Structure 1
Amino acid sequence: MPCERKPMRYGHSEGHTDVCFDDEGKCVVTCGSDGDVRIWESLDDDDPKSINVGEKVYSVALKVSANFGILFSSDFIVKIVEVVDSSQQKTLRGHDAPILSVALDPSDEFLASSSCDGSVAVWSIESQTQVAQWQILQKSSDVSNAKSLCRLAWQPRSGKLLAVPVDLTIQLYDRNTWTHVSTLSDDLISQVVNVVVWSPCGKFLAAGTVGGNLLVWDVEAKLCIERQKHEKGFTVCGMAWHPSGGRIAYTDTEGCLGLLEGVPSSSSTVQSTKVSRSSSHDDDDDRGLDEGMSDSRSPVKKPIMEEDDDDDDLMPATGRPRNRGSFLDDDDNSQGMSCVKLDGVPEEDGSSAILPAVGPAVSRPVYEGPMPTQPQRAFQPGSTPVHLMHRFMVWNSVGIVRGYNDDQDNAIDVEFHDTAIHHAMHLTNTLGHTMADLSQEAVLLACEGTEELASKIQCLHFSCWDTHKDWIVDLPKGEDVRTLCLGQGWAAVATSALMVRLFSVGGVQKEIFSLPGAVVCMAGHGEQLLIVYHRGTGFDGDQALGIQLLQLGHKRRQVIHGEPLPLSRKSYLAWMGFTAEGTPCCIDSEGVVRMLNRTLGNMWTPVCNTRDSCKSKSDHYWVVGVHENPQQLRCIPCKGARYPPTLPRPAVAVLPFNLPYCQTTTEKGQMEEQYWRSVLFQNHYGFLSSSGYEIDSEGQSRAEKEQQELLMKMFALSCKLEREFRCVELAEIMTHSVVTLAIRYASRSRRMALAQRLSELALEKASQIQEEEQEEEEPAYQRLICSSFEEMKLLLNFVFQEYLINIFKLQVSGAGKSSSSPAGQPRTTNVLDSMTMSNRKPAPLGSTSKQGKAPVLKPLAPKPKSKTQATLLQMSASKGNSKKLEDSQSEAEKVKPAPAATPPASAENIENRKPKTGFQLWLEENRKSILADNPDFEEMDVIKEGMGRFRTLSAEERLNWTERAKGDSDPKKRKREDEEGQVDEQTESDEGRTKKKKPLDTSAKLSAFAFNKE
């Protein structure tokens, strides 16, 4: 089974780096050009022990039973110093250039060295003489100019073979004869071999090359059994094999540390031999050994809820991918014994002392199914791990909260980015708060409970206008705070009881609701509350998280109802929050930034990957804020760590956004990415506008203009590539005005077929716009809601006066006329009662009327009228056979009988009978001047402008216009009464001539407001 290459992690600054294991394999020791020697407990150790040497360190080795210390430098000399008595030194002279490397054989008898003079020499330590020398390397003037470090290696325990890297191969020399006995090579090697290292049992040999190749050979078979490649192709300059086998640590010239797990070792071969030999004795024993074999080769079952003491990472170590095929046990005594037994036997000839391989025993396969992932622990966005003595409790767009917990001080510092909000604060952390959030109104702190004390919530409401600026709440016994956040006028706390508790910023307890899983984090912005929790158990390193988005305004509602939160494979949530404009945003441990796309059904769109800006695999970016306008991702670069230190104050960097579109190296891909990124980052304008916030209209216009320019550029590029169908697809996204520009461009490019199709598309867009305007056209009184309050008040005032005048006039005229209708026909004289009822219960603005009920409201724009068009009086009369209307009809007949030949009043008569107000009369005479000044005005705009001008008149002038209106209406009234006795034909012809000669006045247009309720 192939071995697994772990991701590289930062170890030292850029430069030469070396690595080794201690004798027991419990720790890894590295050294680098930064002058530090670091001791790592594992590759996942984020806090290694560091020893500063002060100068560049080129090599490191640990051996408990060592008798000698070997020193070499650029003075061409090798010195051997006894560990017990440092005054006893031996000097080896003979090289003519700086020394590249040295290697001491296991029996402390010989020393091998390589030099820039191109030679490899073997020295007798006792006699301090050179016993062998080979001119096999390329010469160089200095170590820095050498093509290879030529790290030499003796075969463990027996020291029978000496491995020397020579160009693209590894040459093996026999200890007894100092002759070249074998050569190891592989077709994968394209650059010189830099370093070699033996396995503890001496059966395998590993090598690293300048090109970043990692290879393992079976020395006996001269077969390359493992090939790996450095993830970035950097030079491998240090390698060390774990004492128990199975793992190889390596370093590169960029200062990073890596690990190969599951490297083949001789233990499996020895176990297979034992099983084969025991198979003929006892079937039960064979079955027991076979089961042991299967367990050693199958993945080791781990407890699901395994404890993890490493709190430096949000994700437990058990959540990282494990090698499930080559697990080695350090307590397996058979492995160490086999190495001693095989390598301790002296060999007379060049043959290997390893026993001949026996066919491996067939093990029963064991299927364990998908491995569950340990759930991610709850965390506070913008904070560093709790176990750090100096840490950031929160860093957001408002300020920074630092926590100090050492022998000298246990305090909290609050710092604001804008000191105009509040001055900096220093708080004594007597309650042991570990969580914090900061807003422009308050600081919210919380601590977990103990056996004696309950979990507490403390709020410092510094924006409060009274003298009491803080409050503390104790949670019930056994319930601890897991995460918290602040919003505009509210605070939220998620607890271990799977509940979310809401508070006002002043300390009033509000709603409480339960979560369907353990909370992971929360974030607040304005009236929005974002909650992330565990939806269930993830598998194979993936987390199963759900998200809820709530609006906590006057109309509280849930926007996102627990949908899954998308994350990268085998990653966890690292940050969750809102952009400065209020759009939810999240970042996972792989550095992928995702933003909520409200126009795409609340889907999550990846907008950036911080890993693309990292120089090393172990580098990270710690996010502190996201902005949509301008498009900025504000974060802190962390070299070799996930979190920044508190001192010195870290510098904030700005990363650009880049949507992961295909072929972004081409002009087409770049413009597509820019267009859709602009569309995505413009969505917040619509959300803020719908929420009642003021928006930057100029910024929105600039964004729309940029989008249309990009579409036009893509259109021109498609025309150049003769992609006319693609041109039409782009035109469908354009606005109507830009489509016209595209038609002109296509015509000038002599693409008449394309221009014709674009013309048809333009007509379709124009018709769609007209239909949408007609569908969205609101009644006049409804459009008044959008106008200013004063204009609406004035217009509705005179409309209501007009209603009253019409009502009383209709009552008087109805009482003074005799009806010619049959006795059973209803007539409407009780219109005032209907108006009162409709005033008490107004109809919904968006409701549509049914046939036979309240009339459909007409728009203000005048339309041609037919003789059957109903007015308020007629439609009220058409409501049929109700008893109330019949009674009113009989009462009206008693007052004044009407001739039987008198027809019902037509719409034209009703229009002409309406008295005019002073404003209506003034508007009729001044309409032409208003339209002359504003030729683009519609009827509603003319009325608004007229109201504004009419208000500027003096009180006397307005009174004069009112008197003139009354004087004009009286003669018309008398004239209509005189004309009531004429014949029907003459009346209809007069009404027709009046309709043709006189346009509709303002009162007639405003009669569209009239509506009634049954």
Structure 2
Amino acid sequence: MALQQRIRGRQAHAPGSTFLAYTPNGNKLVTVGVDNFCRIYSTGSDDEPVTIDDCQENNSAIVAGDGFFIAGSEDGVVSRFSLERNNMEEMLVRTNGPVRDLALSPDGNWVAVASDDLTVKVVNTRDMMQIQYLRDQPGPVKHVAFDNSGSRLTVSCTDGNIYVYSLSSEEPSMIKKVDGMIKRLESDAEASSKVLWHPDGRAFATPTPTREIQVMSFSDWERQRSFRTKHSADITAAAWSPNGAILATTSSDLTLRLWDASTQTLLHEYNDLKATILAMVWHPTENILSYTNNDGELFIHTDIVPSEHASLLQKSLQPAPFFHDPSEGRAGNAQPKLTNGTKHTLPDRARRAGTPDSLDDILGSDGISDDGVDDFVVDDDGAGYANGYGKRTNGHLGALQNPSSKRRAYSSSSFRPETHEAFQPGSTPWRGNRRYLCLNLVGFVWTVSQEASHHTVTVEFYDREFHRDFHFTDPWLYDKACLNDNGTLFSCQPSGDAPAIIYYRPHETWTTRTDWRTELPRGERVMAIALSESYVVVTTSTNYVRIFTLFGIPLRVYRQKASPTVTCAAWRDYVLTIGNGPIAGDGSCQLLYTIENVKRDEVYQSEDIVALTPHSTLSSVFFSDEGDPFIYDSTGVLLTLLHWRTPSQARWMPLLDTNLLSRLSTGQKQESYWPVAVANRRFHCIILKGQDTHPYFPRPILSEFEFQIPITGPPKEKSEEDEVMEDGDEEKGRKANREKERLEHAFLLNSTLYLQLLDTITSSRPSPHQRQSLSDLEISIDKTLLQMLGQECLAGEDRGMKALEIVGLMKDNNGKMLELARRVAMRYGREVLGEKIGELAERRAAQIEEED
């Protein structure tokens, strides 16, 4: 049966640019044009429209609210009209240049005015004296658009950039400049660069210079899917259907096309247009698209969506067309939890921080909420905890029937511990269609999603003289990777009947390069992988730890005690695994780690606790270039594990708290740090600006920070009093305190590094470099203590006992440093202290002789 289209074309205004707007309820349609009147059409009526004569000529924009509409003209006048009395109520604002576009906030309280002025004015529709000014754009503005909340406004500037403003405070602020997405256009051009906010509020779209409609997610400013419209001329208008399921586009090539938003496929094309469409809007509830053109005509196109696709308009609100939803977990590893064969998602961290008595305010006497959420208890394990109506029964309470026991049973049975999400160290989540699979000091691995069919993977190295970059088409959709000087390790998840795959590709071998792949048992997912100079490590959803040689020989398979598994790391023969353990005081699971030597089959630490602060999470885990374990947590603290080769003696020690960095002391910078590695006794990271949580493209620059054990707070800024007393005794005292803090930090840091290196040398065959480094640390510690001794001697005779304690901390084994310490004491006239140091030297010499 042929589709009968009823297109109602009317000469609404004199030939020329014509614009339109629906009221929020869709009952009225208002048009303006080059003549000096407005017309109001009633939806579904064939009656002549109502005409309002007292308006400006050459109108260029219109918006409509409940009971009113606002029109702007090329003479710079923006006026408010009443739909009840059909007259002009007042002039809201006037601009110096022609008005190019208007945008009305969802609540109808504010109208944004785009004009050839360099400033966008946001005016209160009920009080013209309330005006906000947006000034960050450098040129005239062609379009403006409010987001669904009305708290943000996008400004399409003629310079080809989009400026996003936050209007949630008294003073508007620009929060983002989006460049390279729209075309440079003159403000009076028929082509469009207008931002189209998707109805779900999480993304917007704009026409691009290549005549596509590009979608961008608002939460991470990432380009998502695009509509390849194949228009042969610039796009002049576009509009989302009210539920976001269909996108309509039109162009000066005189075609109008409808697109399925979820698949970006063409649904229907209308190519019988007689003039260029300049504006089009969907009816809020009906299958009607209305549009006006540059010849003064209005078309009310009923049944615009053909019957075979009309069901799309009947759907509920549809999600924006993302490559990858920004709300997904950081590594895509969040999996539904199984309980007796039933899947359910782990709950969010508990939001209530009060005592059990605080339930009294929100629960009725029977333990049921009064706000309509009484049916949240689900009998998911068949144990009879809920009746047929989803209500909680008391049959499981036995003899405990007093009210207090009811409340305790209620809270305990609904409690579920929060497990730590599994993650891959060095990996970032999807942003748009790309993500990093691995970032370290060797190089980085990144992947680009090419729709659902395949990915493209690129491996790049910092030292291109040592290794050559490579890339390949990835039909397996790898989602994890590890990279070192020997090779690259990949893994992908099961899909349908295809199992998870582990793929290792060595960089070079003295024979023909031997890539290898291995499949995991069906249904088993890869949670984290690690690659060392000797082994490949894989942790899976069944809590198995699978260890392979670099040539794919399976060496170990065992079940991890701490579960669910979280992550893993490897270095040479050592493997570190982390999993969820017992419940901590904040309701989350403590993390437990295990370290083993695969070659010797020895376990050094078994299910020991990862030291995290309450409500914090683990961000990364890795071995340093010297082979010591490090972790970086969500609070910005870098910790290392001391004495980890001795069972039950390991402890986590902070080597850097990024919150105390001097670069943050002024409070002017807002930044965080993405951990990459620890090498050369420095923390290597990527600095993230503003609200960014992960690095993105183009390839970020690596930064490094020296270790700074948190002993004191961050440095303070100088006050006015400090400036006045610059040369006084107080200033000298402050300098002495700063020097004292510096020496104490140097002593503690070098002592920690000394203990760490001493453990390494004791447990392995040391290299000459390691022996020399240990000797240098000993000398550095003693020199620092010698300087601290000088400070104490200078401070006075009453510091003698502390000074002697400092000397006792020296590593000196040959007496040279102790002799220097005695001379320092004598130089400052501390004879008694000098004698005590001499006695200490004699005792230590005797002890060394006895040991020999």
Q: TM-score, normalised by structure 2?
A: 0.51
Query: Of the candidates 820, 831, 834, which is equivalent to residue 752 of structure 1?
Result: 831
* Distance across 2 between alignment mates of 1:107 and 1:547: 56
Tell whether the 8 Å contact from 2:347 to 2:416 is kept in structure 1 after alignment.
no
Secondary structure of the residue aligned to 1:545 is: strand
Q: Given residue 700 of structure 2, which amino acid in structure 1 is its aligned partner?
A: P
Alignment partners' CA distance in 1, 2:589 and 2:633: 11
Deviation at 1:635, TM superposition (A): 2.7
Letter in 1 for 2:831: M
Matched residue, 1:713: 787
Q: Report the Cα distance in structure 2 between the residues aligned to 1:536 and 1:502, rounded to whole angstroms.
A: 26
**Does residue 1:608 correspond to 2:680, yes or no?**
no
Pair 667,570 (structure 1): closer, same or farther in 2 beyond 3 Å: same
Q: Answer 1 or 2: which has greater helix percent.
A: 1
Secondary structure of 1:644's partner?
Answer: coil
C-alpha contact 1:371 1:539 (8 A) present in aligned 2: no
**Structure 1 residue 313, shift from structure 2 partner:** 7.6
Find the counterpart in structure 1 of residue 712 from structure 2. 662
Amino acid at match of 1:311: G
Question: In the alignment, which residue of structure 1 is the partner of 2:691?
Answer: 640
Q: Supply the distance in 1 between the matched residues of 2:502 and 2:782 (Cα, whole angstroms).
A: 51
Residue 804 (structure 2) aligns with: 728
The answer to which structure has the higher strand fraction is 2
User: Residues of 1 paired with 2:678 and 2:125: CA distance?
Assistant: 66
Please show how residues 483-882 of structure 1 align to structure 2 within 5 Å. 483-516=528-561, 517-540=563-586, 542-553=588-599, 555-598=600-643, 601-613=649-661, 619-627=671-679, 629-645=680-696, 647-662=697-712, 666-690=738-762, 691-696=764-769, 697-722=771-796, 723-734=799-810, 735=812, 736-773=815-852
Which residues in structure 2 correspond to 1:262-411 (within 5 Å)?
310-312=328-330, 319-320=348-349, 322-323=351-352, 368=411, 372-385=416-429, 389-407=433-451, 410-411=455-456
Residue 297 of structure 2: aligned partner: none
Give the partner amino acid of 2:677.
G
Choose which of 513, 520, 524 in structure 2 pairs with 1:479. 524
Match of 2:505 among 460, 464, 474: 460
How far did residue 673 of structure 1 move? 1.1
1:664/1:673 contact within 8 Å kept: no
Contact 1:626 1:632 in 2 (8 A): yes
Give the counterpart letter for 1:531 in structure 2.
T
> How far apart are 1:394 and its partner, in Å?
0.7
Once the two structures are superposed, residues 468-523 of structure 1 have per-residue CA deviations (whole angstroms, 9 ceiling, x without a partner) of 51111111222222111111221111112211111110111112222112211111
Deviation (angstroms), 1:542: 4.0
Q: Give the Cα–Cα distance (whole angstroms) in 1 for the partners of residues 124 and 531 of structure 2.
A: 73
Task: Specify the alignment match of 2:207 in structure 1.
Answer: none
CA distance in structure 2 between the partners assigned to 1:433 and 1:594 by the alignment:
31
Q: Return closer, same or farther for 1:500/1:707 CA change in 2, 3 Å cut-off.
A: same
Q: Which whole-Å CA distance do the structure 1 matches of 2:691 and 2:350 have between them?
A: 20
Q: Hey, what's the Cα distance between the residues in 2 that align with 1:450 and 1:366?
A: 44
RMSD over aligned CA atoms reads 4.9
| Aligned 8 A contact 1:731 1:758 in 2 | yes
Q: Which has the higher contact order (CA 8 A, sep 6+)?
A: 1
1:44: which partner in 2?
A: none
Deviation at 1:314, TM superposition (A): 8.4
In structure 2, give the amino acid aligned to 1:530.
L
Q: Structure 1 residues 323, 535: CA separation in 2 closer, same or farther (over 3 Å shift)?
A: closer
Structure 2: how far apart are the matches of 1:748 and 1:732?
Answer: 19
Please report how far the alpha carbon of residue 402 of structure 1 lies from its aligned counterpart in structure 2 after TM superposition: 0.7
Tell me the CA shift for residue 379 of structure 1.
Answer: 1.1
What is the CA deviation profile of residues 437-480 of structure 1, one whole-angstrom value per residue up to 9, with x for unaligned ones?
11222211111113311111111123333325111111122222
Give me the whole-angstrom Cα distance separating, in 1, the residues matched to 2:88 and 2:768.
82
What fraction of aligned residue pairs are identical, expressed as a percent?
23
User: Structure 1 residue 585: deviation in Å?
Assistant: 0.3
Which one has a bigger Cα radius of gyration? 1
Q: Distance in 2 between matches of 1:124 and 1:441?
A: 66
> Which amino acid in 2 is paired with 1:707?
I
1:963-974 equivalences under 5 Å are none
* Alignment gaps of 5+ in structure 2: 1-23, 25-62, 95-103, 111-122, 137-165, 173-217, 221-324, 335-345, 374-402, 716-737
Residue identity in the other structure for 1:721: A
User: 1:108, CA displacement in angstroms?
Assistant: 9.1
Partner of 1:67: 68
Matched residue pairs, number?
A: 499
- Aligned to 2:582, the other structure's residue is in SS state coil
Task: Extract unaligned runs of 5+ from structure 1.
Answer: 1-22, 24-61, 95-102, 110-121, 135-140, 145-194, 198-206, 211-254, 258-306, 335-362, 774-1014
Q: Distance in 1 between matches of 2:608 and 2:833?
A: 44
Cα separation, 2, equivalents of 1:653 and 1:83 = 60
| Equivalent pair of 1:541/1:571 in contact (CA under 8 Å) | no
Contact preservation (8 Å) 1:311, 1:387: no
> Over residues 655-684 of structure 1, what are the superposed CA-to-partner deviations in whole Å (9 max), with x where a residue is unaligned?
232111136763322211111112223445
What secondary structure does 2:748 align onto?
helix
Which one-letter code corresponds to 1:584 in the other structure? P
| Inter-partner Cα distance in structure 1 for 2:493 and 2:626 | 32
Deviations 1:933-990 (A, max 9, x none): xxxxxxxxxxxxxxxxxxxxxxxxxxxxxxxxxxxxxxxxxxxxxxxxxxxxxxxxxx
TM-aligned CA deviation for residue 529 of structure 1: 1.1
Q: State how far apart, in whole Å, the 1-side matches of 2:805 and 2:789 are.
A: 9
Residue pair 1:480, 1:495 contacting (<8 A) in 2 also: yes
1:564: how far off? 0.3
- How far is the alpha carbon of 1:536 from its aligned partner? 2.9
Cα distance in 2 for partners of 1:617, 1:539 equals: 34
8 Å contact kept, 2:654–2:709: yes
Closer/same/farther in 2, CA of residues 617 and 327 from structure 1, 3 Å limit: farther
TM norm structure 1: 0.43
- SS of 1:544's equivalent in the other structure is strand
Q: Distance in 2 between matches of 1:469 and 1:572?
A: 39
Letter of the structure 1 residue corresponding to residue 467 of structure 2: H
In 1, Cα distance between equivalents of 2:606 and 2:782: 35
Q: Is the 8 A contact 2:454 2:475 kept in 1?
A: no
User: CA-to-partner distance for each residue in 1:757-795, whole Å, 9 max, x for gaps?
Assistant: 22221111111211222xxxxxxxxxxxxxxxxxxxxxx
